[in-house]
Amino acid sequence: MGLHEDVGEILFTADQIDEIVKRIGDQVSRDYADKDLVMISVLKGSLIFMADLMRAITVPCSIDFLSVSSYGAGTTTTGEVRILKDLDTTLEGKDVLVVEDILDSGMTLSFLLNNLQARHPRSIRLCTLLDKPERRRVDIKADYVGVQVPDKFIVGYGLDYAEKYRNLPYIGVLKPEIYAE
């Protein structure tokens, strides 16, 4: 079976994603006018969203990347967060926008935001393309949300299962038999 056949339902087409990204980009551009914006992508899932979002933002910005691990090859978070690749940029006095593909349990992002706050940025906000509030295990809310999604296993547009499906141009629900243990 191919990548597309493994998807049981398409939640958002490429055109719908483009509209969502443009809306967020417009909002970020308004909010960060005359600020020292540093966008931080949480690798690997948010890479595609970050690339499209930064092109939709009309104010100057710089970018950096973090890589963290809390899932391994499974479908649920382990609860243990490790930084695999840290930032190259210092954040002191800067306006930080953490860009994530999906806000799920919130455990990884809660850890990450606390870690970044300790680096003394002027401000720190969270932007997520997808919000899955039903799975939240900690009290965290994004400042910018693309759309809320149901509690299903979602892939495409950067989101993966075992490092596959990131290259799908849409966001869809993976068929349960694909990830059944």
- Please tell me whether residue 39 adopts helix, strand or coil conformation: strand
Q: Name beta bridge partners: 97.
A: 39, 125
DSSP state letter for 49: H
**Whether 41 contacts 99, CB under 8 Å:** yes
Query: Which residue in 6, 52, 95, 104 is the catalytic one?
Result: 104
Element (H, E) at 179: helix 176-179
Q: Is 104 known to be catalytic?
A: yes
**Whether 159 contacts 102, CB under 8 Å:** yes
Continuous H helices in 13-143: 14-31, 47-56, 107-117
Which residues does 51 contact at the CB level (< 8 Å), separation at least 6?
Answer: none
What separation in angstroms does the CA of 7 have from each of 75, 122, 155, 178?
Answer: 16, 42, 8, 9
Tokens 């191919």 sit on residue: 2
Annotated catalytic residues are: 104
